[in-house]
Structure 1
């Protein structure tokens, strides 16, 4: 867990907003050493599925001759950065619920290329041996969880959904809802599990935490967290013109949850401190070469 916190912090600190996505390509295909321009991918802080997909495309595009940088920020600033052209695209827009407000806010300023994964789900997770199984039981048992719900970034779509839907639907107003960051939430989760204490956190699927920790989801009979969602790629309005072949590749991009989990697992389920996942991702690509090659055909 320490390495995950350090990794995100180091990369977030290194992120500098800049208009870097304005160099167009020739629209041709293929790879090689030709410099085809600079591309900046916006990455949500603490969201591993988006980071994993971003590293995957960084390696793919660099192999094709593009110069790619990853810029980290919370969801709101990433949407704003893509809308302004500071970022060229991002890979972690959840619809129809989690990031609906951002897609509406920046309508006409960003382009939705469609979904690359259809199995996304917002969740409330607890330790596997917690005394409750449903969100309907949480208010009556709040004291067993220290009267706290541990959340993630304040600007995250999950945070908005928790405040606007889950808390009022299940009468959780008397519980303290703590938001800070995904690494901080994961650190609190690990701390509680190590101490054999109950804890409730806001989480989502797909996430490597379900492989790393003994946790379970609370049932959501009122569907306050919504049904399964899809994860979308969205670009700046000028991206298709500037990078036509990449736009086509991203429009056709699909990645099922089994493949995504396998990539996340090799990136995050390690005790090593990792600041650059590129070598790990390149090894994963070599083991899944047929799939990766198909992404740019």
Structure 2
């Protein structure tokens, strides 16, 4: 009889412990120290997301799951709660369609980086200055009537599709879908041989530190002016994970910061190694993010 009572007590204590574990750290991901970060495979977002991951794991003790997706699924994931946050929202122009589509389904924590830009980019050795110049037949032929793009669905690609219409390029020109990595590889190859090339580009990006490049003037303002990169989180994150929310809310850095991480990655370090090196070299800044 005593043995049965003792076993019953153990079972009750075990159940209480399980229930307590389930109720503590209430999050959509099933644990108080877990977080899912979504990002697009742009060199800039690889840099920023891995820095945030490094801080979460090494300074705050979180387990981070990275979700590398295209822009559309990134916004959808935050909006439906299947991802917790992203530090990769280019606003107000590049991701304008996603901002409108998912309005009211996420929380915008504001900019984490100021001074971004998008548009069409060429090497400075090319004797053209505006997007209008692409209508010149000799220029068009030298470029095989092709603009080297990145991932389909990216806001930059949507803006470039619009540029084809606005500048009368639609009938003769092709916007080639590829990836950010493939685009930079083709740019580097052409640059090394001083061949003509036009690509979809953005700032910050390490390519501007490694090559002499310029934006083609956008006289019709299709690409908008300077932009910001915003931090976007799912609804309810502030209540579920206040520590994570506070860090994300205070995370901000400069284009030079981001470029330093991107260059390290481009020169052979893994994103994790580059992020770790930056975090260790900027302890005061990181402490300010954490302490708010």
TM-score range, shorter chain: 0.7 to 0.9
TM-superposed CA distance for 1:85, in Å, is 1.7
Instruction: Find the partner of 1:283 among 269, 277, 292.
Output: 277
User: Normalized against structure 1, the TM-score is what?
Assistant: 0.84
Does the CA-based 8 Å contact 2:125-2:194 persist in structure 1? no
Q: Who is 2:21 aligned against?
A: none
| Larger fraction in helix | 2
Q: Which has the larger radius of gyration?
A: 2
Q: Return the offset for 1:24.
A: 5.2
How many residue pairs align between the two structures?
A: 261
- Where 2:118 maps in the other structure, the secondary structure is strand
Q: Distance in 1 between matches of 2:98 and 2:70?
A: 12
Q: For residues 178-202 of structure 1, give each alpha carbon's deviation from its aligned partner in whole angstroms, at most 9, with x where no partner exists.
A: 1121111112212222332100000
What is the RMSD of the two structures over their aligned residues, measured on CA atoms?
1.6
* Structure 1 runs not aligned, ≥5 long: 1-19, 26-36
Number of the residue aligned with 1:259: 257
Structure 1 SS opposite 2:30: coil
TM-score, normalising length: structure 2? 0.85
Aligned residues of 2:116 and 2:227 also touching (Cα < 8 A): yes
Q: Which of these residues, 121, 124, 129, is aligned with residue 120 of structure 2?
A: 124
Question: Are residue 292 (structure 1) and residue 289 (structure 2) matched?
Answer: no
Within a 5 Å distance, the mapping from 1:1-297 to structure 2 comes to: 22-23=29-30, 25=32, 37-45=33-41, 47-63=42-58, 64-140=60-136, 141-164=139-162, 166-173=163-170, 174-268=172-266, 270=267, 272=268, 276-297=270-291
Between 178-187 and 213-222, the greater mean CA deviation after superposition: 213-222
* Offset of residue 21 of structure 1: 5.1
Report the secondary structure of 2:290's partner residue.
coil
Report if aligned partners of 1:82, 1:110 keep a CA contact under 8 Å in 2.
yes
